[in-house]
Amino acid sequence: AQSVTQLDSQVPVFEEAPVELRCNYSSSVSVYLFWYVQYPNQGLQLLLKYLSGSTLVKGINGFEAEFNKSQTSFHLRKPSVHISDTAEYFCAGPLRSGGGADGLTFGKGTHLIIQP
Amino acid sequence: NAGVTQTPKFQVLKTGQSMTLQCAQDMNHEYMSWYRQDPGMGLRLIHYSVGAGITDQGEVPNGYNVSRSTTEDFPLRLLSAAPSQTSVYFCASSEAGGRLYEQYFGPGTRLTVT
């Protein structure tokens, strides 16, 4: 099975400051990567995805991520955060390499805490 | 569109009891899956289905059963609940193979096994 690793379990940041949430992946074949957000007591919602093409991916709510093959990373960034961005963020990738239509493997999550 | 719906929202079971967590989607998605979310563990895939009549195991299938008789429904059965199955369960669906397409998640079922 493949894996994604989120390096920080919790990231505190002041409102209107920039933020970067880190994600590294392991993959021997094709790479598909996702960032999901989970607001308190809700299900997950897709922020953005990388399937191929441009390495800079823009998502919803002003978030973007950069796919870096040499660093095996897919870090999530936002130039200026808002209180409403307080949530849990998950990086995800294919569970298994190769063909097949199986599901995703998720990182353990990063709790983004916005301080006023 | 209701999207992905799950029932119940909360459930408390005693060890050894059985129950079925319901999941339904109205988007005509072929792919459906079940995940469990535990603190500090992220989400882990339990079972998935690529269409009616076809199911397969994910990362943590033991203790759970699934079937898919219609495109819309994908119930998850716990045959004999154990405290280790205390978790939040999420159902998800997508247009096709879950690895490539956006997965739409339900609101979750919080299960406690005492």
Using one digit for the tens of pLDDT, what is the confidence trace for B60-79?
999 999 999 999 999 999 99
Residue B100 pLDDT greater than 90, yes or no: no
The pLDDT of B2-27, averaged and rounded, is: 96
Q: Which two tokens stand for residue B55?
A: 């199911």
Torsion angle in degrees (nearest 10) through CA of B78, B67, B57, A37: -80
Pairwise pLDDT comparison (A2 vs B17), residue with the higher score: B17
Q: What percent of chain B shows pLDDT beyond 90?
A: 84
> Tens digits of per-residue pLDDT, A47-95?
999 988 889 999 999 999 999 999 999 999 999 999 999 999 999 988 8
The residue length of chain B stands at 114
Beta bridge partners of B91: B34
**pLDDT of res. A42:** 87
Going by C-alpha positions, the residue among A116, A103, A106 that lies closest to residue A37 is A106
* DSSP state string for A85-114: G-EEEEEEEESSSSS----EEE---EEEEE
* DSSP state string for A56-90: EEE-GGG-EEEEETTTTEEEEEESS--GGG-EEEE
**pLDDT of res. A88:** 96
* Interface size, chain A vs chain B, as Cβ–Cβ contacts under 8 Å: 75
CB contact under 8 A, B42 and A108: yes
Say whether the peptide bond before residue B8 is cis (omega within 30 degrees of 0): yes
Residue B106 pLDDT greater than 90, yes or no: yes
Interface of B with A in 26-55 (CB under 8 A): 31, 33, 35, 40-45, 48, 50
Pairwise pLDDT comparison (A55 vs B99), residue with the higher score: A55
Residue A103 pLDDT greater than 90, yes or no: no
CA A109 – CA B12 distance, rounded (Å): 26
Residues in B closer than 8 angstroms to A89, CB to CB, are none
CB contact under 8 A, A44 and B105: yes
The pLDDT of A28-39, averaged and rounded, is: 84
Residue B12 pLDDT greater than 90, yes or no: yes
Going by C-alpha positions, the residue among A108, A112, A111 that lies closest to residue A5 is A108
CB contact under 8 A, B43 and A106: yes
Instruction: Say yes or no: A40 contacts chain B, CB-CB below 8 A.
Output: no
CB contact under 8 A, A105 and B45: yes
